[in-house]
Structure formats: C-alpha cells, structure tokens
Amino acid sequence: MSGFFSSPSRAGKPVGGLSSRLFAAAMLAFVVLFVGGWLALFAADVAYTSWDAVGQVLRAKEIRAALRLSLWTSGLSVLIGLVFAIPMGYALSRYRFPGHVVVDSIVDLPILLPPLIIGLSLLVFFRTDVGQFIENSGFKFVFQKKGIILCQFLASASFGIRAVKLTFDGVDPRLEHVALTLGYGRAGAFFWVALPLASRGIVSGAILIWTKAFGIFGPLMVFVGAVRMRTEVLPTTIYLETSVGRIEVALAVTILMLVLATAALVGVRILGLGKS
C-alpha cells in the first residue's frame, strides 16, 4: 500500500485491503480534527491582528525587553534544569532504593499540579525562617528576576527529568557493564557510554524544559509580579496588554511565542524525540 495512508517504514509492511484503509482513515480523522482545531485557533489569531501590530510589537522597547528577559531566564532555567535532570534521570533509571516509587511520583508532581501553586508555595516558603534567611543572605528571589528563574525551573524541570530518565531507561545497562570490564569505573562508564548514548534524549529534555519555562505565567504573577521592564516576560506582556484592551498587540505577542515554540518543537522532532 503506497500513497496517502502509507506506513512510516517500508520494511515489514503487511498487505492491506479496504478494511485496513478504513481503519487508518478512522485513526487519522482524529489527528485531522485535533490539528485542524489548533490551526483554526492560530488562523483566527493571525486574522484578528494586523502587520502593524506585529511591527509595533517588534519595535516596542518594553516588549523587546520582555523577549530578552524571557529568552535568558528560560535559557538559564534549561541549564539548571539539566544539571538536575541528568543525574536524577540516571539515578531514577539505574538505582532502586526504598521509596523509589514515591520519589518518582514526587518528581512528576509539578507536571500534574496547577502551576499557580508553585508561585503560591514559593511565596509562603520565603516567609518562613529558612526563606527569610536565604533572602537576607543576599539571594533575593521575591519580586526579583532570580525569582523568575526559580519559578521556571520548578515548573519545568520535571519534564526534563522525565525525558532524560526515559532515555537512560532505553540505554542497555550491559553496555556500561562491558565498560566496567574494560577498565572503567562507574563514572567512566557513565560519561563515556551512557551519556553519549542519551545525548538525543537530553537535548529533547532541554527543549521540553525550555518550552515549559518560556510559556510559564501563573506562578510568576504570584511570586515576582508583573512589573514592566523588570519582571515582565512575554506571557506577562500578553496579560498586561489584554488587561488594557490592546488585544491586537497581545495577539501579536502570542504569534511571536507560537513561532518560537513551533521552531523548538520541530527541533525536538528533528533531534529524534518523535522517533523514540
């Protein structure tokens, strides 16, 4: 069977009849419905706004500052996220310890909980003695740019940890065992065997962290506020512009974010997350 309803791989493709085509059509109908729905939303956004609004967005000092802040804070969140995701993903994949299931579930909590809770919890935490001590030690987070990174990290790291763990799950531990017999210690086997083999998954994890960190809004409103030119990231801009009735500008920022997010997700597919 070739043409429209073809399988991704030419190998092992069974002979299909009319029923196979109908089945494939039924499955793909849901894909069309979902993707079509989203494309309709995008198209409505694009139709509503104007090129003038897009140009205004790209020229506006505040919005360019918000874009820069969004990019560098989310970039730093990715780096910090990976510093945690790589060892945690490896540890959760390779080692079994009492409470492993509980720990594994806690790692997933930020994926399930409403992001607003992260901001609220951080605000409460920094009112405690420990939180106050941190703030008074020169590490100020509340209503600060550092707070943006903290919120982004806490909201997004779980996605990276999960992606990296799944990648390490797919790396055969026996390859590391062979490295042990060839003169390497555990660390050597990790750095020379497991890490290079997990590289695609790590890059995919990084992109997942970035997309989540880039789009986060709820916790930021609670923990760092929405102060123009100071703690304003692109999602905050959308909120601020909407609240003063400049819907066209808000939608132009939305389109900017959509273009950046689409580029990132296509990058994930090209790097092989889709294949796995």
Q: Which residues bind other proteins (CB under 8 A)?
A: 172, 174-175, 177-185, 188, 192-193, 196-197
Cα torsion 190, 191, 194, 200: sign: positive
Smallest gap from Cβ 89 to other proteins, in A, equals 18
Of residues 59 and 174, the one with the C-beta less far from other proteins: 174
Smallest gap from Cβ 171 to other proteins, in A, equals 10
| Residues near 169 by beta carbon (within 8 Å), at least 6 away in sequence | 93
Smallest gap from Cβ 271 to other proteins, in A, equals 15
Distance of CA 178 to the CA centre of its chain: 34
Smallest gap from Cβ 276 to other proteins, in A, equals 14
Of residues 125 and 192, the one with the C-beta less far from other proteins: 192
Of residues 80 and 198, the one with the C-beta less far from other proteins: 198
Task: State the Cα–Cα distance between residues 167 and 204, nearest whole angstrom.
Answer: 10
Residue 12, both tokens: 């092992």
Of residues 19 and 181, the one with the C-beta less far from other proteins: 181
The amino acid occupying position 67 is L
The amino acid occupying position 179 is A
Rg (CA), the chain: 23
